[in-house]
Amino acid sequence: MIYRCVNCGGNVVYEPQVKKMKCLSCGGNECQEEQPSQTPDICVNCGAQIPFKKFDSAGRCPACGTYIIRDHMVANQYKPDLIIPFKISKREAENRLKDEFGKKLFLPGSFLSEKTLEGMRGVYVPFWMYDYNTNINYSAIGTKVRTWTSGNRRYTETSYFNVYRQIHVNYDGIPVDASIEMDDAVMDLMEPYDYGQILSHDNKFISGFDSETYNMSLGELEPRAIRKVDRSNREWIAQHTSGYTTLTKENMNADNRNVGNRFALLPVWVYEYRYKGENYKFYVNGETGKCVGKAPRSMGKAVGFTALLFGSLMLGLDGLALVLGVL
Ligand SMILES: [Zn+2]
Ligand SMILES: [Zn+2]
């Protein structure tokens, strides 16, 4: 389907800067209507065949430039539940990349030139979001060491504690990307997204962008969600056992009970740059503007990759209840 302008017949797309639909021809943002596709993968506007890949759910007609949504890839089992719409416009994404990579490094003249930047694409990446109710049980022997001097003697006192912690955590929407093509490490680095800004899905948000439906199942990806939860569980325990000098005989078990799942689309700007026969990919988080990428190898060091933190998980936490055991 396409969104067509009622005033002039032009293609209407979602405009991140104004958070509205906008006609590419007349600039109007009032009246648009959905025009469903009659034949799959044939451009509704010009009739050209569109070379969609298997899991693509939206993209641009190479012949006339119209943004097409593949009706059958956003319906039934492929209908997304949630979406974070693009907030960063293409122009802003370009500026972020220039700031992050252009100014810090001596880069070839063609890098980030107006012409090469034309190829920058806004892509909605499919994610599964998992909810868990988790009970963590932890026990250990803890010590606290105190030393002092009295007269000409030095004293050391070691106190021993049986440490018990029982923590209940509700994880609300642990995100795992469900795209084979999108590098898992890159997507982890793109985080955090502000999941507080997530909305119910509406196809309008993907008009004007490329989009992919999930190409890995909920069950297939659950081990990755569980790994994230387990990492976060350990963080919670570490936070609540910080006062001890040592902790030995640690024993921890957690039951992560899956209580809900949703299919979501998250926005990423993708910029591919070809230099001396090699392809380099740069990414800008379409919501926050965070840049991830690697400068051409000839320029030396890689930049932009930051350590993977737990921030996203913390954001995903909801209704934390603590039951602290006795010391
Ligand atoms: Zn128009
Ligand atoms: Zn076309």
Ligand 1 center–CA 86 separation, angstroms? 22
Averaged pLDDT of the chain:
85
Per-residue confidence (pLDDT) for residue 192, from 0 to 100: 87
Tell me the Cα Rg of the chain. 25
Ligand 1 center–CA 14 separation, angstroms? 13
> Using omega within 30 degrees of 0 as the cis cutoff, is the peptide bond preceding 126 cis?
no
Among the listed residues 264, 205, 266, the one whose alpha carbon sits nearest the alpha carbon of residue 79: 264
Residue 62 CA to residue 49 CA, distance in Å, equals 9
pLDDT at 71 over 80: yes
Per-residue confidence (pLDDT) for residue 321, from 0 to 100: 27
Residue ranges per structural domain of the chain: 1-79, 126-324
Per-residue confidence (pLDDT) for residue 77, from 0 to 100: 95
Mean pLDDT of 168-194: 88
Mean pLDDT of 280-302: 74
pLDDT digits (tens, 9 = 90+) for 214-238: 999 999 999 999 999 999 999 999 9
Ligand 2 center–CA 242 separation, angstroms? 61
**Residues 182-192, buried b or exposed e (16+ Cβ, 10 A)?**
beeebbbbbbb
Ligand 2 center–CA 45 separation, angstroms? 5
Cα distances from 288 to residues 192, 200, 255, in angstroms, run: 8, 19, 33
Q: How far is CA 156 from the centre of its chain?
A: 50
- Between 315 and 59, the higher pLDDT residue: 59
Per-residue confidence (pLDDT) for residue 307, from 0 to 100: 31
Mean pLDDT of 164-171: 93
Per-residue confidence (pLDDT) for residue 325, from 0 to 100: 25
pLDDT digits (tens, 9 = 90+) for 82-124: 999 999 999 999 988 888 877 655 566 666 777 777 788 999 9
Among the listed residues 59, 50, 14, the one whose alpha carbon sits nearest the alpha carbon of residue 32: 14
DSSP tag of 105: S
Ligand 1 center–CA 275 separation, angstroms? 39
pLDDT at 81 over 80: yes
Ligand 1 center–CA 30 separation, angstroms? 9
Among the listed residues 32, 36, 37, the one whose alpha carbon sits nearest the alpha carbon of residue 22: 32
**What is this structure's pTM?**
0.82
pLDDT at 76 over 70: yes
Q: Residue 190 corresponds to which tokens in the numbers above?
A: 């793109």
Q: Report the DSSP pairing between strands 210-212 and 56-60.
A: antiparallel
